[in-house]
A and B are shown apart, each in its own frame.
Chain A
Amino acid sequence: MTINFNDPRLTAYALGELDEKERAEIEALLAGSEDARREVEDIRRTSELLTQELAAEPSPGLSDAQRAALANRLAETDGRAARPAKRRRFLRPRVWIPTALAASFVLAAGVAYFNWPSLLSQASRPSNELANLSHVKDDATSSRVHGVGQEQSLWIRSVPSAREAPTARRERLTRDKEGSEVVASTSDRALHGVTREEMARMIAEAPAKLFICPSSTEGSYSDSGNPPPVDFSQYENVSYGYQVPQPPAAQPPAVPGGGGGQSILGGSAERVGGSSPGHGRPLDKIPPEQLSRLLAEIGSRVPDMGRSAPGSLSEAEMPDDPELMEDLKRLIAAQLAAGADLGFSTEAYDHIVENPFLLVTQEPLSTFSIDVDTASYANIRRYLTGGQFPPAAAVRLEEMINYFTYDYPQPAGDEPFSVNVAIADCPWDGRHRLARIGLKGYEIPDDERPASNLVFLIDVSGSMQPANKLPLLKQSMRMLVNNLRDDDSVAIVVYAGSSGEVLSPTYGFARGEILAALDRLQSGGNTNGGAGIQLAYDLAVSRYIEGGINRVILATDGDFNVGVTSQGELVELIERKAKSGVFLTVLGFGMGNLKDSTLEKLADKGNGNYAYIDTLNEAQKVLVEEMGATLMTIAKDVKIQIEFNPATVAAYRLLGYENRLLAAQDFNDDTKDAGEIGAGHTVTALYEIILAGEAVDVPEVDPLKYQAATAVAPAAMSGETMTVKLRYKEPEEDESSLLEFPVTDSGTTLADASDDFAFAAAVASFGMLLRDSPYQGDWSYDAAIELAGSALGDDAFGYRAEFIDLVARARDLAARQP
């Protein structure tokens, strides 16, 4: 019998979590396999270590004042429910918004975290706001915290407490008609535009509409002043976040998917059984089997709500009762607020708003900077192989597409790259066309490559300790060093709490010294990235090779926490340094703490590229196979501008490149920074195009009153689809050159399109699925697999096959979500 070591039951068995039947099965397996027995033994040992070390983790516990307050409260009431008015004495109300019944602890039952403002604010708030939060020490508590002491300021890093910004977080007390307190924060952005009165009304109305209480308990509520626990078990099965919703459990015990429907109170069954629906509430009118679909639909229409299946209901099936809609939204919000999604992590990603369709009549020009980064794909791979969906903001379509190399021809003339445009059917929407613009930088044989002046800037802070960070980094760098020529020079600068040069510039022939210096690197301390960057650039400038490769290679998990720590300042520092002519390569390492947003910006502003190294294979790809592309820039500030022809194209949409968009006038402005292309690099951009005459679902603007529609130039009648314009600079030039290509759609079908075209489309479509894009239509993981499978080409390194594997993982993961 074969043992699958990925079977979670092995761990469950080792931890004594299996029922009798499964235990017997596993034991049968174990009896026949020594490997499996060792595996289980290993799991047990790891569990023991975990238990030991976790037990030793101290906790500061409550503050003395809080403990005293709790004790007082217990003494006063002798275990009876508190009167609401007393609460304020010891419970400092913060930003939560209790319902009108708040003071009387309806909330106690747990579900009623009525909190849709926070939900809305999630969608609307820019994520980099985090970076600007100040560090303020909480002097009231830090002095006495057990085992925390002066590290307190670290704990509160980037996390203001209520007192830190009194003006921003003024708490407001209003009184509802029962005289109990309602606390709301006026700082929440979602509340902008909502008046106090409206707010109070929303709060007051919420519970009555939101909760389907058993009517018998309603009666007793006002008598006792001590509210009954609200039965919320019927909501428990409607889950959001990274999960596909299930039917509600209003009709127990039909709980599908096993375990997904447990009440948080454990003994849910009898509680559910004892409840009967309330009367006359809008929500009650919906049959339970329809409720979950409704919730899913509404949830999917609110940005950032998670990955509930969208489009499962048509507009006509949506309730037209606005009051009911409100209730449903609140219910979703309550679910989310109750922790139904899993979206917390220390990884930082910038929010991405997908490019929408734009009307050619209104926006004939589309301008963007090229982007040769590939980090997003490697990062997504890391998530999916770890059994998780990546956050939508981590999915950057252009980086996924550009992870793969495409077989575009070498440039023929003097230009540093060839431009390859193709148009064919759009796979995920047969009514649309898909245009691909592919650039290919010329390749330089290794012996013709100019000499390199490389400075490795290596993060050796404490957070780099894990095996997939510094150890992997050392191995990766070793591979790079082994491929250097004798006339290349390498210096190594490390940074942690302080930074320093650990290897002064050393030529490639002294490879042994470079490798030995790498070996000596050890992690420890905080991360003062700013000082390290300064030193590395200074070194690179001091050894500047005219016409050569001058590059700082920054290897880090990006968590700069000492010295210059704000993303803005770091980016500014890099931007200044980039003017020295030294280019930057950013290699991201590690997981759980990756500051993707910072790293991408650094590479962008530092005339550089950004790759994410999750495995040795990836290091091989980036630092050996594509070394030329990674290190040697052949053209800089490469910008693309497309002019669409309104006579043939009604609307267009650029896939990805959201953070590389430029204003139309920036195209000809040589002072505007843009992306670099390396030797042998391929860069691909896709446009989804709606041809003139096709239906366009773009919000219309009123016709202008004072301007007539602009006349169409004769060239529009040429039948051309668009004109592709490119600007680029030679690596050491300041003046750009212009390339221009008119493109006509010859009506190629998808079947006749090249493998490269179809594969790029498949990758983009996968990204759209992962982002839960509104443009994905009825596209599916299976469709993406089929399309990619038909377009493998010769796939020399197996990257395309790996892609298919990854899509299959995502598909299985989606199917496994309860």
Chain B
Amino acid sequence: MAEVGQPAGANWDRSIVERFEGPLVRFAVRITGDLESARDVVQETFLRIFTGNRASADGHEAQWLFTVCRRRALDVARKEHRMNVATDQQLAGQRTPAPGPAAVVENGETAGTILRLLATLPANQQEVVRLRFQNGLSYREIAGVTQLSVSNVGFLMHTAIATIRRRLAVPADARGDGRSKS
């Protein structure tokens, strides 16, 4: 198999970049902790799929891209010895289009109760939740990306949602917060 089949040409490539660029960077930055390395990781990921992996990725591009991206990102993070995933402070910054620190903080406090609750979960639970609800991957695909078993993914997902629900419910006045304030 000297030549790897190409499902489509450059158009396919472009649509892949357009579709996955944002999600992959968002995903990678949570692992690398900084945007610069996350972008490099994502670019590398794209290059890999275009360089001889179209066939293998065909039909499950999302899983392929997230898998390769995750591995590279972990690799980089490990290399730099920085396991600091973006904290909620940083995410507060991400949600706010730079209107100055005070406003950033203010917004970070009131927007998105669910996201804040999500940010308190263990990293592996956050990861499966994001892969599912942000990127639309199935349990099976998530298992492929994260190297977990499908049942393990199911367990993490269940625990994550249960915890978020529980915390939404306590304190009593917090119920519905996410909707009313965001």
Measured CB to CB, the residues of A under 8 A from B are 5-12, 15, 17, 42-43, 46-47, 49-51, 53-63, 66-67, 69-71, 73-75, 78-79, 81-82, 87, 90-92, 94-96, 105, 107-110, 113, 115, 118-119, 121-122, 125, 129-130, 133, 138, 141, 145-152, 154-162, 185, 188, 216-217, 220-221, 223-224, 226-229, 236, 239, 257-260, 262-267, 271, 337-340, 342-346, 383, 386-388, 462-463, 465-469, 471, 497, 523-526, 559, 561, 590-593, 816-818
**Cross-chain contact of B154 among A12, A113, A118, A226 (Cβ < 8 A):** A12
Neighbouring A residues of B154 by C-beta, 8 Å: 8-9, 11-12, 17
Whether A130 and B84, one on each chain, are in contact in the complex, defined by CB atoms closer than 8 angstroms, is yes
Bound-complex Cα distance A387 to B96 (A): 34
Whether A91 and B47, one on each chain, are in contact in the complex, defined by CB atoms closer than 8 angstroms, is yes
Whether B116 and A465, one on each chain, are in contact in the complex, defined by CB atoms closer than 8 angstroms, is yes
Whether B149 and A148, one on each chain, are in contact in the complex, defined by CB atoms closer than 8 angstroms, is no
Whether A337 and B86, one on each chain, are in contact in the complex, defined by CB atoms closer than 8 angstroms, is no
Chain B 79-118 interface 0/1 with A at a Cβ cutoff of 8 Å (1 = within): 1111111111111111111101100111011001011111
- With A57-B115, A266-B64 given, is the CB distance from A105 to B83 under 8 Å? no
- Say what secondary structure dominates the interface of chain A: loop
- With A115-B79, A262-B144, A264-B67 given, is the CB distance from A53 to B86 under 8 Å? no
Chain B 1-45 interface 0/1 with A at a Cβ cutoff of 8 Å (1 = within): 111101011101110010001110110010111111101101110
Question: What's the minimum C-beta distance from A619 to chain B, rounded to whole angstroms?
Answer: 14
Q: How many cross-chain pairs have Cβ atoms below 8 Å apart between A and B?
A: 406
Residue of A60, A87, A151, A467 contacting most chain B CB atoms (<10 Å):
A151
Bound-complex Cα distance A239 to B74 (A): 15
Whether A53 and B182, one on each chain, are in contact in the complex, defined by CB atoms closer than 8 angstroms, is yes
Whether A188 and B182, one on each chain, are in contact in the complex, defined by CB atoms closer than 8 angstroms, is no
Whether B1 and A471, one on each chain, are in contact in the complex, defined by CB atoms closer than 8 angstroms, is no
Residue of B4, B9, B22, B133 contacting most chain A CB atoms (<10 Å):
B133
Whether B123 and A148, one on each chain, are in contact in the complex, defined by CB atoms closer than 8 angstroms, is no
Please name the residue on chain B nearest to A148 by beta carbon.
Answer: B94
Whether B39 and A66, one on each chain, are in contact in the complex, defined by CB atoms closer than 8 angstroms, is yes
Bound-complex Cα distance A156 to B122 (A): 21
- In the A-B complex, the 9 residue pairs with the smallest Cβ-Cβ separation, listed nearest first, are A149-B98, A151-B93, A259-B150, A59-B26, A8-B158, A220-B2, A59-B22, A11-B158, A54-B134
Bound-complex Cα distance A233 to B52 (A): 17
**Cross-chain contact of B123 among A42, A345, A497 (Cβ < 8 A):** A345
Neighbouring B residues of A108 by C-beta, 8 Å: 48-49, 51-53
Whether A94 and B150, one on each chain, are in contact in the complex, defined by CB atoms closer than 8 angstroms, is no
Q: Contacts A344-B77, A387-B156, A524-B105 given; 19 further ones with Cβ under 8 A?
A: A15-B139, A17-B154, A50-B133, A60-B39, A121-B81, A125-B81, A138-B35, A148-B35, A151-B104, A155-B29, A155-B93, A156-B35, A156-B36, A159-B84, A220-B2, A226-B51, A228-B52, A264-B64, A466-B116
Question: What's the minimum C-beta distance from A390 to chain B, rounded to whole angstroms?
Answer: 10
Question: What's the minimum C-beta distance from A399 to chain B, rounded to whole angstroms?
Answer: 21
Bound-complex Cα distance A53 to B113 (A): 9
Neighbouring A residues of B59 by C-beta, 8 Å: 266-267
Bound-complex Cα distance A50 to B134 (A): 8
**Cross-chain contact of B3 among A49, A224, A337 (Cβ < 8 A):** A224
Chain B 128-144 interface 0/1 with A at a Cβ cutoff of 8 Å (1 = within): 01101110001111011
Neighbouring B residues of A466 by C-beta, 8 Å: 116-117, 120, 167
Whether A145 and B82, one on each chain, are in contact in the complex, defined by CB atoms closer than 8 angstroms, is no
- With A121-B81, A158-B84, A590-B120 given, is the CB distance from A259 to B89 under 8 Å? no
Neighbouring B residues of A185 by C-beta, 8 Å: 79
Neighbouring A residues of B158 by C-beta, 8 Å: 6-8, 10-12
Whether B10 and A79, one on each chain, are in contact in the complex, defined by CB atoms closer than 8 angstroms, is yes
**Cross-chain contact of A462 among B23, B75, B92 (Cβ < 8 A):** B92
Whether A74 and B149, one on each chain, are in contact in the complex, defined by CB atoms closer than 8 angstroms, is no
Neighbouring A residues of B101 by C-beta, 8 Å: 150-151
Question: What's the minimum C-beta distance from A203 to chain B, rounded to whole angstroms?
Answer: 15
Neighbouring A residues of B82 by C-beta, 8 Å: 130, 133, 158-159
Neighbouring B residues of A66 by C-beta, 8 Å: 39, 43
Bound-complex Cα distance A561 to B108 (A): 15
Whether A95 and B76, one on each chain, are in contact in the complex, defined by CB atoms closer than 8 angstroms, is yes
Measured CB to CB, the residues of B under 8 A from A are 1-4, 6, 8-10, 12-14, 17, 21-23, 25-26, 29, 31-37, 39-40, 42-44, 46-57, 59-60, 63-64, 67-68, 70-72, 74-98, 100-101, 104-106, 108-109, 112, 114-124, 129-130, 132-134, 138-141, 143-152, 154-159, 161-168, 170-171, 174, 178-179, 182
Bound-complex Cα distance A526 to B165 (A): 26
Whether A155 and B90, one on each chain, are in contact in the complex, defined by CB atoms closer than 8 angstroms, is yes
Whether A157 and B9, one on each chain, are in contact in the complex, defined by CB atoms closer than 8 angstroms, is no
Bound-complex Cα distance A147 to B91 (A): 11
Bound-complex Cα distance A741 to B57 (A): 71
Please name the residue on chain B nearest to A147 by beta carbon.
Answer: B97
Residue of A78, A148, A591 contacting most chain B CB atoms (<10 Å):
A148
Neighbouring B residues of A151 by C-beta, 8 Å: 90, 92-94, 96, 98, 101, 104
| Listed A/B pairs (10) with beta-carbon separation below 8 Å | A43-B165, A58-B95, A108-B52, A159-B80, A160-B80, A228-B1, A343-B83, A346-B85, A462-B92, A592-B119
- With A109-B53, A468-B120 given, is the CB distance from A228 to B105 under 8 Å? no
Please name the residue on chain B nearest to A388 by beta carbon.
Answer: B122
Question: What's the minimum C-beta distance from A237 to chain B, rounded to whole angstroms?
Answer: 10
- With A47-B133, A62-B21, A229-B56 given, is the CB distance from A96 to B155 under 8 Å? no
Bound-complex Cα distance A386 to B81 (A): 26
- With A74-B13, A591-B122 given, is the CB distance from A8 to B43 under 8 Å? no
Whether A159 and B33, one on each chain, are in contact in the complex, defined by CB atoms closer than 8 angstroms, is yes
Bound-complex Cα distance A133 to B33 (A): 13
Whether A259 and B143, one on each chain, are in contact in the complex, defined by CB atoms closer than 8 angstroms, is yes
Neighbouring A residues of B97 by C-beta, 8 Å: 146-147, 149
Whether B35 and A591, one on each chain, are in contact in the complex, defined by CB atoms closer than 8 angstroms, is no
**Cross-chain contact of A467 among B13, B43, B171 (Cβ < 8 A):** B171
Residue of A43, A58, A264, A343 contacting most chain B CB atoms (<10 Å):
A264
Please name the residue on chain A nearest to B60 by beta carbon.
Answer: A266
- With A53-B112, A265-B57 given, is the CB distance from A339 to B74 under 8 Å? yes
Question: What's the minimum C-beta distance from A443 to chain B, rounded to whole angstroms?
Answer: 35
Bound-complex Cα distance A516 to B157 (A): 39
Question: What's the minimum C-beta distance from A805 to chain B, rounded to whole angstroms?
Answer: 17
Question: What's the minimum C-beta distance from A136 to chain B, rounded to whole angstroms?
Answer: 10
Please name the residue on chain A nearest to B77 by beta carbon.
Answer: A344
- With A217-B1, A264-B145 given, is the CB distance from A91 to B40 under 8 Å? yes
Question: What's the minimum C-beta distance from B36 to chain A, rounded to whole angstroms?
Answer: 5
Please name the residue on chain B nearest to A90 by beta carbon.
Answer: B43
Bound-complex Cα distance A216 to B1 (A): 8
Whether B10 and A75, one on each chain, are in contact in the complex, defined by CB atoms closer than 8 angstroms, is yes
Neighbouring B residues of A469 by C-beta, 8 Å: 120
Bound-complex Cα distance A523 to B174 (A): 13
Neighbouring A residues of B72 by C-beta, 8 Å: 96, 113
Whether B170 and A344, one on each chain, are in contact in the complex, defined by CB atoms closer than 8 angstroms, is no
Please name the residue on chain A nearest to B8 by beta carbon.
Answer: A79
- With A53-B112, A79-B6 given, is the CB distance from A129 to B81 under 8 Å? yes
Bound-complex Cα distance A592 to B30 (A): 13
Question: What's the minimum C-beta distance from B24 to chain A, rounded to whole angstroms?
Answer: 8
Question: What's the minimum C-beta distance from B154 to chain A, rounded to whole angstroms?
Answer: 4
Bound-complex Cα distance A566 to B125 (A): 29
Whether B52 and A148, one on each chain, are in contact in the complex, defined by CB atoms closer than 8 angstroms, is no
Bound-complex Cα distance A262 to B157 (A): 19
Question: What's the minimum C-beta distance from A598 to chain B, rounded to whole angstroms?
Answer: 14
Bound-complex Cα distance A118 to B38 (A): 18
Neighbouring A residues of B159 by C-beta, 8 Å: 8, 386-387
Bound-complex Cα distance A188 to B78 (A): 11
Question: What's the minimum C-beta distance from A116 to chain B, rounded to whole angstroms?
Answer: 11
Bound-complex Cα distance A712 to B116 (A): 65
Whether B17 and A67, one on each chain, are in contact in the complex, defined by CB atoms closer than 8 angstroms, is yes
Bound-complex Cα distance A450 to B158 (A): 49
Bound-complex Cα distance A221 to B132 (A): 37
Whether B94 and A57, one on each chain, are in contact in the complex, defined by CB atoms closer than 8 angstroms, is yes
Whether B94 and A147, one on each chain, are in contact in the complex, defined by CB atoms closer than 8 angstroms, is yes
